[in-house]
């Protein structure tokens, strides 16, 4: 956790329909923003746990935002195929066709996950895969949701 929450950099992407979005459009809820790619083995490994976390805690107060940085012409199709193959059912599809989200956020690689508060401020980040539906991860998210 950061000692002092800092504003999250602007991030642009598209949703599963290809419609443009901005990260700040999701402000007002706690976000677990996961920067990932279909070609990244650790990313692929952690996606089911992110899906389970969304199923368990997702709603008006919290959302897992899995943002793919697959940026070739078939990026969105690759993400949709991956979700189908792995059985991802609770995460919405978000894709950064420019692959600039990681650069804007200052990530060191993928996967990188940021915990963002309701005001759009980064509370902390983790580089590398994790079990996001573990007891400790759920406690962390719930503590952030508490007023």
Q: What is the pLDDT of residues 22-71, one digit of tens each?
A: 999 999 999 999 999 999 999 999 999 999 999 999 999 999 999 999 98
Cα 32 to the chain's mean position, in Å? Answer: 5
Domain count, the chain: 1
Sheet holding 20-22, edge to edge: 6-7, 121-127, 112-116, 30-36, 62-68, 94-95, 12-15, 20-22
For residue 32, what are the domain limits? Answer: 6-145
Residue 134 domain-assigned?
A: yes
Position 3 confidence tier, pLDDT thresholds 50, 70, 90: low
**CATH code, 27:** 3.40.30.10
Question: What is the pTM for the complete model shown?
Answer: 0.95
Number of neighbours of residue 5 by Cβ within 10 angstroms: 16
Residue 1 domain-assigned?
A: no
Residue 43 domain-assigned?
A: yes
């Amino acid at each position: 956790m950061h000692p002092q929450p800092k504003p999250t950099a602007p991030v642009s992407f598209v949703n599963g329909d290809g419609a443009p979005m901005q990260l700040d459009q999701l402000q007002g809820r706690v976000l677990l923003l996961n920067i990932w790619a279909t070609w990244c083995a650790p990313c692929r490994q952690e996606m089911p746990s992110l899906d389970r976390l969304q199923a368990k805690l997702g709603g008006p107060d919290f959302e897992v935002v899995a943002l793919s940085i697959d940026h070739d012409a078939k990026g969105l199709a690759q993400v949709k195929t991956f979700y189908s193959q792995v059985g991802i059912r609770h995460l919405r599809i978000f894709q950064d066709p420019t692959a600039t989200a990681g650069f804007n956020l200052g990530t060191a690689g993928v996967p990188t996950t940021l915990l963002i508060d309701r005001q759009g401020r980064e509370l902390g980040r983790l580089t590398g895969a994790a079990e996001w539906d573990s007891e400790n991860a759920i406690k962390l998210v719930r503590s952030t949701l508490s007023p």
